[in-house]
Structure 1
Amino acid sequence: MPDIESKTLSGHSMGTIPPEIVYEILTYQFRDLLRNDHPGTAEKFNENLATFVKSNLTANKTFSHICQVLIYRYCNLTTAKRFHGLLQTLKANRALCNKVEVADFQELTSIGLGRSSEMNKMIKNLTNETLLEFLMLTKANLREFLACENIQDDLDDNIIKYILSPGKVLTVVDFCGCSGTSFTQSFIRALEKLYHLNKSTDQHQLEPIQQNYQITCLGLNDCTDLPSHVLWKVFKMLPELQKLDLSHTSIDDDILYNGIPHWKNLTHLSLATCLQVTPRAVLEFFSHHPTITDPDNTSTLEWLNVSVIAHSSSWNEVHTMFFLKKLCQHGHNKTLQYLNIGGLPLHIASSFSEDPITESTYYYQCRDSLQFIKWNFPKLKSLSIKGNTVPISTLVEFLTPIEQDYPNCVQKLKVLNVSGNSYINKWTIQDSLLYTCSPSLVALEVNFESWQQIEKLNERHEIIAYRYKNTSSIIKDTSTAEQVKWKCYIDSSYGRRYWLYKTDPFLNRDDLESKSNLTRYDAEGHKIIEIINQPDFLKFAQNKIMLGCGLVPQSGIRRKLCYRDLKPPVSQFLNRKGAISLGNTPLPIVIPTLPRGGWRIIHNEDESNSDNDNRMVTIPRRTPLLSRPALRSNNGPARPDPIASNASTAAQIRDGLYWDRSVHDLRELSLQEQRIQDLADEQQELRTMANYEETDDEYLHDPDLERRRSQLRLFESSQLRSGNKARLSLNRENSSTGSFLSFSHLNHLRKHKNYYFAHPDEFIYDPNDPRTTQRYRLHFEVVNEYQVFGCIERGMYRYYSLKA
């Protein structure tokens, strides 16, 4: 029970338990309670939040402060009255404003308790004035703004202009479901204020006054009324996008191919059911657009949704195969974990054995679409082929792991959407091969009739399949076979979607129904809080991109990728004098994170090979430097220093480093530096108003100190090449080869920080307790999946992601 845990912690002397440890413990409790689906009512969020507050808030000062940090970090605003209460609290206590990071309006409803939307407008708890006031109060640390259709009329041009304009740390913006005349006109007026006045009739000649380098995640799902040229203006303002959801928008061919800028960091993209986009434009985009084709891009695609409505689409089998080959040609097949091609027709061969595999430059070549996906998309965990008629034998062959030793073709598929497949019906749904052929598969999405057949099979709504040891034998011995239990997932809130999932004791439990319908009490009459989480497979079935970081982040990596400027604090609660900290106020990013130009390295590895001498690499790394910079001619490539070239020993051959400023606009850089200084002054003023004291984190990450440390690192000596007997240090003292080798050996034995996240199978916690080791391995795997898929959020995020 949560209150027992809190009393146990509060019973210890808080001088012996650092607040950071208490924070980690309460964070786990807060996340479990807020994601709890018990009780099964609309007020479960309020009840679970009240349970957390009652259990911890009054324990002591440390608990009270940490509770405030957790509660105000994620503001889930379900009613206008709750928003009004939060606003009044922030106005009365300005110190709390700096704790608000997420403003989530996705569950807000304007109708309830007998009131109409017109009555709520007269009450004025949530209006454009109060919403703008809330944004101004929380601008120091607000990271995510998640809207919904119930506040679309309250988003006027001033609010939209404030959200899209730079100068804030706001990183995640979601206008999911917002449409209508009022919202569209406000959006157009806001963009007019953000662009230079230009009398030219050519819209493509317009330039934004200032680009926003802070926003990395943008959601326009179901914003059907925004014109295509409005979308183009938004894209041009946001050059650092990493996640973009354009599902069911009015984007057309011209904007898709000519209006989208070069995004070098794009990892998540959704073009689902964009009715004005033709197959030709999609294929040209994935064939020639630099966002997809540039090999120097920082990231490749990890999440992609290009599903269409099958009966109204002009896609054919040739288009689909061409699209898949282009993904392979540009390397996206090696990183994609989610691929939704629902409605796109597939070429299905009669048998995989009749379709030989040939290896080409970029991919394994074959004619069958499923076999092509199986061989060329090794990291795929979720695949939707909705609306395609595929025989069960072909599906089984597709899901069966490749027997040959091909390490790049390991089957990792966990969720497969085969709804709309006429071969899977109420007569064939009980085929055991479909449930046992893949060791990694945990869920199938099927038609209602097929799902209903399993749901009516028994009271437990489950089916038992058998994995036989000898699959080729005619006689099937069930006594020696392994049982595999699959179960129907029953939840009426997701519309017309039906799943069968494989149960396990950790992530996809089979006792959700029995626990969610019972309320238990202990011997003293106290209510027992049951933590019931939805099955883990649902995160792979989402149609909508999970833009933000969730209630409580499960991994700092996702926050680092989205927010980019976030650095782990030394202490989140105490400053140097021991007083309670109000939190950090990071500076917004107002310049590109990857500016043009940079350090150049000239490698002089072989004095006899001129080609190697002229090779340049733009990625900085730790290498020994020339005592004199390498020479670079004005009209030709870089050439090595003559002194270094004439050196006869390997120890005298070193690398040259110089900064290439030829592509920089110095005037623009000076303007950007001035903007940074103005923002720093504004942040300092906010800190002074709140009696702010500098934290250890801000001191250690001061830009001046960072610059000095980076300059020192430039002159660090690196490891010697083979044949060298000694290495030079900064103080010109020689270190022996033996000590260097021993240090390297120890460094090799020590795993780097996230080693087991990439190699979970190598982790062994306790040889005598394999169950605990398995739980740790699952933890590593879930954290890695969280970086791409997020988690199963409560409320509207879950509804929009899983609705039909």
Structure 2
Amino acid sequence: MATISYTSLSTFNTGNPNNSNSTSNQILNSDILVGNTDEIAVLAKLFPFSPEITEKIIGYAYYLDSPHVTTDNYVAHGITYEDYENSASSRKMLKTAVSSSASNVTRGRYSNLSNLMLVNSGFYFFCLQYQYKYCSFIRSFSFHKFLLNLLKSNELGYYVEYLDFQEFTAVGLGKSVESIFKIPNLTSVTLLKCLQLCSMNLKTLLLNESIDSDISFEVLDFIFNDLKNLKSLDFCGCSNENLISYFDKLTINNENLKLEKLSFHECLHLPTTTYSKILPFIPNLKRLDLSHTQVTLKTLNQFLNKKIRLTHLSLRKCSHLGTFTEFMRFLKHPAICGSNEDDFEYERDDKDNDDYSEKFQLRWLNIQQCFSSDVLTNEKLNSILDIIAAGAPALRYLNLNGFANLNGEHVRKITESFKELESLNISDVNLNFSDAHDLEIIKELNSLKNLKFLDVSSSVWSFEKLKNLITELDFVQAIEIKPVLSDKLSHLLTFSRIDESGDYSEEYWRAYNNKGTSRRCWIHKVKSVEESILIDNYETEQAGGRLVEWDINSGDLLLNKVKKVDWLGLASVKINCCEDIDYPLQDEDFGNDLSVRGLYKYYSLKV
């Protein structure tokens, strides 16, 4: 009986059977059973290709969407709403038939693994690595089952790179708070044991308010001192009062802390002293989310490492920051928009390379409502934009919501300064979209070729203003609007546009309000009526309204084809800490649909 460890896959390719003994010495140190074979060389016979190529194929299958999820390359059938509602054949064209014997056909990345694991022992071993790579927990019993597997086979912990509790909740269990605390499945003891078993390769740890009472001092100490490879850490919504004393007692001894992404989003009760204890010990920090916290500018100016260069920063709704003078000094901090190159230290030798330098400039900035409009006057807004433009011209995301003194002059400055912008949030901009002069200012946004998302929601309260806005913008794909306006719109709108040659063309825009349950609403462009139907199906599925249908003749399961929207990351007010660097279709700065879900979705999108 041969066993395989977690070591490099290249050890499988022995090449010469005579070398099998030396290879066995390298990899026969695990309890993960691969198959009934006495020679490692025989393992290659389990695969149609080399083990390396087989692993890449399994990796591709892992990231492959469910069969009913379509991409932009769907075939247009010219189906109208009337055809879809009245014709059974038209509805069938927008469905996918799946064999009733297929397992987990709608569960995304894990559905393909569950089928591939049944091929043979070799496939089972490779699939295990992907099955345990990203571990997400919604209920305590799923965490309990996961922990039992780790205790039974400790080597499984080496495969775990992501521990995700962002969707974890006790809501719906029908239990009181007191009884939930007594549930033994997820406690500070079991959480600590899980972290210990996964400590070798754990890169991302995403926590939330539902388990903040289970974060003991021992857990906190282990996170900062023993997780040697941790790069992303999110305490989203954790405000348990005990955490304050735990952070006070915390001493960081890890000199090689590799954290690059740190989020205390909506951690309302943690005092600013918490951040003074942590920030000096994070020399690799690139993303910092302090939205709605008690952090002060004095703490940030004093303790933020001057040798780092932040790419993402959020101070949204931080009401304890301090004076505007301190804020201006903070923006000039070397880690934010400072221009003194002597204060920076890049991690690579090619620091003179323009592409590399631009990569480590600030690209994501959210200062929504960090000051009142009385404080942030017209002149002070100009000063802020000047500093940001000088130190961070490569911004892709800028959120200035809540500032009523924002006007056309600032819009022009933004347009001239930030040519890479993809998401612009200026909800309270002082412009009248019924006025020709103000519309000319908005039209200047067309010089931003990458701009896909625009929030001017507080300035657009009628269909006429929305129509004027849409017809003036060439590249924007989604516009945020108020729910009160969304309720007055048709589900699918058609707008006529006149191009430079004088020809008319029609554009379809669809209202996106999560089946009427959103706290934020958008109107976004679709390519056709068919695409709108596919997104309708997606919203229905997300709301739990999926109907089970079967083909009478074949017995196959019929699934509605769905299409995911690709701009939700641009609408987020929360910095993405849920990156999967191996996923080729994920945006580096905004993530993808896997990054916007559960409580994370609530805090980032308020939907």
TM tier, smaller:
0.7 to 0.9
* CA shift digits 1:649-694 (9 cap, x unpaired): xxxxxxxxxxxxxxxxxxxxxxxxxxxxxxxxxxxxxxxxxxxxxx
* CA shift digits 1:360-379 (9 cap, x unpaired): xxxxxxxx110111111100
Partner of 1:521: 550
Partner of 2:579: 549
Mapping 1:177-326, distance limit 5 Å: 177-189=237-249, 191=250, 193-194=251-252, 209-277=253-321, 278-289=323-334, 291-296=336-341, 297=344, 298=346, 299-308=360-369, 314-326=375-387
Aligned length: 504
Mapping 1:579-658, distance limit 5 Å: none
Supply the distance in 2 between the matched residues of 1:481 and 1:146 (Cα, whole angstroms): 49
Structure 1 residues 175 and 150: CA distance shift in structure 2, 3 A: same
1:400 is paired with a residue whose SS is helix
Supply the distance in 1 between the matched residues of 2:227 and 2:246 (Cα, whole angstroms): 21
1:379 aligns with 2:420: yes
Letter in 2 for 1:385: I
* CA shift digits 1:271-324 (9 cap, x unpaired): 111001143322221135554314434421011111106767621111111111
Tell me the CA shift for residue 328 of structure 1. 1.7
Mapping 1:486-565, distance limit 5 Å: 486-491=509-514, 495-504=518-527, 510-514=533-537, 516=540, 517-522=546-551, 523-529=553-559, 532-550=562-580, 553-555=582-584
Letter in 1 for 2:306: H
Structure 1 residues 26 and 464: CA distance shift in structure 2, 3 A: farther
Aligned residue among 759, 778, 791 for 2:592: 791
Partner of 1:82: 142
1:789 is paired with a residue whose SS is coil
Partner of 1:636: none
What percentage of aligned pairs have identical amino acids? 26
Of stretches 78-87 and 18-27 in structure 1, the one that deviates more from structure 2 is 18-27
Partner of 1:56: 116
Supply the distance in 2 between the matched residues of 1:524 and 1:383 (Cα, whole angstroms): 50
Aligned residue among 378, 396, 400 for 2:443: 400
TM-score by length of 1: 0.58
* CA shift digits 1:252-275 (9 cap, x unpaired): 131132232214231011111100
Aligned residue among 43, 49, 56 for 1:17: 49
Letter in 1 for 2:477: V
* CA shift digits 1:536-578 (9 cap, x unpaired): 011110100001314x7423xxxxxxxxxxxxxxxxxxxxxxx
In our comparison, the structure showing a higher alpha carbon Rg is 1
Aligned residue among 170, 174, 179 for 1:110: 170
Supply the distance in 1 between the matched residues of 2:209 and 2:245 (Cα, whole angstroms): 15
Letter in 1 for 2:413: F
Structure 1 residues 502 and 264: CA distance shift in structure 2, 3 A: same
Aligned residue among 498, 508, 511 for 1:468: 498
Tell me the CA shift for residue 143 of structure 1. 0.7
Structure 1 residues 100 and 347: CA distance shift in structure 2, 3 A: closer
Conserved? CA contact 2:147–2:194, under 8 Å? yes
Tell me the CA shift for residue 165 of structure 1. 1.7
Structure 1 residues 220 and 531: CA distance shift in structure 2, 3 A: farther
Letter in 2 for 1:321: N
Conserved? CA contact 1:257–1:289, under 8 Å? no
Supply the distance in 1 between the matched residues of 2:164 and 2:232 (Cα, whole angstroms): 11
Partner of 2:458: 420
Letter in 2 for 1:17: F
Supply the distance in 2 between the matched residues of 1:61 and 1:87 (Cα, whole angstroms): 23
Supply the distance in 2 between the matched residues of 1:54 and 1:547 (Cα, whole angstroms): 27
Conserved? CA contact 1:384–1:417, under 8 Å? yes
Letter in 1 for 2:470: Y
Supply the distance in 2 between the matched residues of 1:141 and 1:419 (Cα, whole angstroms): 44
Aligned residue among 329, 342, 347 for 2:401: 342
Supply the distance in 1 between the matched residues of 2:558 and 2:307 (Cα, whole angstroms): 50
Aligned residue among 230, 235, 251 for 1:170: 230
Supply the distance in 2 between the matched residues of 1:35 and 1:289 (Cα, whole angstroms): 48
Tell me the CA shift for residue 18 of structure 1. 3.6
Conserved? CA contact 2:373–2:405, under 8 Å? no
Supply the distance in 2 between the matched residues of 1:87 and 1:493 (Cα, whole angstroms): 39
Tell me the CA shift for residue 86 of structure 1. 0.5
Tell me the CA shift for residue 531 of structure 1. 6.0
Supply the distance in 2 between the matched residues of 1:270 and 1:29 (Cα, whole angstroms): 35
* CA shift digits 1:43-102 (9 cap, x unpaired): x99955774454322122343223212211010011111111111101111221111110
Supply the distance in 1 between the matched residues of 2:307 and 2:562 (Cα, whole angstroms): 40
Which consecutive unaligned segments of at least 5 residues does structure 1 have?
Answer: 1-12, 195-208, 350-367, 404-408, 474-479, 556-781
Partner of 1:435: 470
Which consecutive unaligned segments of at least 5 residues does structure 2 have?
Answer: 1-44, 71-94, 96-103, 347-359, 541-545
Supply the distance in 2 between the matched residues of 1:119 and 1:45 (Cα, whole angstroms): 35
Structure 1 residues 546 and 35: CA distance shift in structure 2, 3 A: farther
* CA shift digits 1:399-423 (9 cap, x unpaired): 53689xxxxx5532110011111xx
Supply the distance in 2 between the matched residues of 1:398 and 1:287 (Cα, whole angstroms): 29
Supply the distance in 2 between the matched residues of 1:498 and 1:542 (Cα, whole angstroms): 12
Conserved? CA contact 1:110–1:116, under 8 Å? no
Supply the distance in 1 between the matched residues of 2:437 and 2:127 (Cα, whole angstroms): 54
Structure 1 residues 347 and 115: CA distance shift in structure 2, 3 A: closer
Conserved? CA contact 1:487–1:510, under 8 Å? no
Conserved? CA contact 1:37–1:531, under 8 Å? yes
Letter in 2 for 1:521: W
Supply the distance in 2 between the matched residues of 1:324 and 1:525 (Cα, whole angstroms): 62
TM-score by length of 2: 0.76
Supply the distance in 1 between the matched residues of 2:438 and 2:69 (Cα, whole angstroms): 34
Tell me the CA shift for residue 228 of structure 1. 0.8
Structure 1 residues 276 and 495: CA distance shift in structure 2, 3 A: farther
Tell me the CA shift for residue 115 of structure 1. 2.2
1:150 aligns with 2:182: no
1:293 is paired with a residue whose SS is coil
Provide the alpha-carbon RMSD of the alignment.
3.2
1:185 is paired with a residue whose SS is helix
Conserved? CA contact 1:32–1:531, under 8 Å? no
Partner of 2:22: none
Conserved? CA contact 1:164–1:212, under 8 Å? no
Supply the distance in 1 between the matched residues of 2:525 and 2:505 (Cα, whole angstroms): 13
Of stretches 45-54 and 168-177 in structure 1, the one that deviates more from structure 2 is 45-54
1:232 is paired with a residue whose SS is helix
Tell me the CA shift for residue 175 of structure 1. 0.4
Conserved? CA contact 1:462–1:488, under 8 Å? yes
Tell me the CA shift for residue 147 of structure 1. 0.3
Tell me the CA shift for residue 508 of structure 1. 7.2
